[in-house]
Amino acid sequence: MTGEQTQAAQSAEAAATGVVVIPALNEERAIRAVLTAALRYCAKVILVDDGSSDRTSEVVADLPLERIRHAAPQGKAMALRDGFELALKLGADGVLTMDGDGQHDAADLPRLLAAAKEYPNHIVIGARLLGKDAQPDKNRFGNAQADFWVSWACGQRIVDSQSGQRYYPRAAIETALALPHDGFVFESEILIECATRGIRTVSVPIKASYEEERRASHFKPFRDVSRITRMIAGRLLRGGFMLGNLRRSRTVPPIVIDLPTS
């Protein structure tokens, strides 16, 4: 099979299996390249412009996308929720997500889909394990703290709980749409609530881009990890601290699948 045939087959698989939802806030520098790459691997891509004050929507006006635009910023949680709802209306049986800042490589989407096929009814996280030393220290520390608490609440060791490149099966999307939290807490609570319903998590190693010209991350380690921790602390208190979950999260290895790109 030629390279073009392989890419076409991957694109067909993506189109049949899910759509890509990409939330974006003030991403005019990176968003066109992100969306163009995503369209190579999936025929259905949803851009959710969360009230950008720059030209995020204008610079991709000619691309064959599904579009949602908020009149004012409503936060990543609402952007994802609106994208999820549209994806379900389009008949998706699964949804892929990517950030709009160029951190993720769309070429990894087929790897997430392959993992989803191998592990049905699982959430697949693109875990930023390759070239991890390039990640800013404050982000690496914040992510490690979040992983500890999210893993405890899930009863399963989660690798890179804060990664925005994921695959959600339909059952996880339906669960997410019923959750109340906002901001970066939302993506953590999806993992936790799904775990309580038997929807577990697997990870696929990916490499993320941390180029200096990219805009500063919307993720604020101290603020957002504090919010995540408060949310999880409430769950743990209501659940009697879930010490069995803590034991499993510290003693059972995570499920990490290193799949080839083609």
CATH number at residue 115: 3.90.550.10
> Is residue 257 domain-resident?
no
> Is residue 61 domain-resident?
yes
> Is residue 261 domain-resident?
no
> Is residue 140 domain-resident?
yes
- Per the DSSP assignment, residues forming a β-bridge with 88 are none
- Quote the CA–CA distance of 202 and 125 in Å, as a whole number: 6
In this model, does residue 12 exceed pLDDT 60? no
Enclosing domain of residue 129: 9-251
> Is residue 95 domain-resident?
yes
> Is residue 4 domain-resident?
no
For residues 18, 77, 133, 208, the Cα torsion angle rounded to the nearest 10 degrees is 30
> Is residue 260 domain-resident?
no
The pLDDT, as a whole number, for residue 212 is 57
> Is residue 209 domain-resident?
yes
The total number of structural domains that make up the chain: 1
DSSP H or E run through 172: helix 170-176
Express each pLDDT in 184-230 by its tens digit: 799 999 999 999 999 999 999 999 887 655 555 566 667 888 989 99
Give the global pTM.
Answer: 0.89
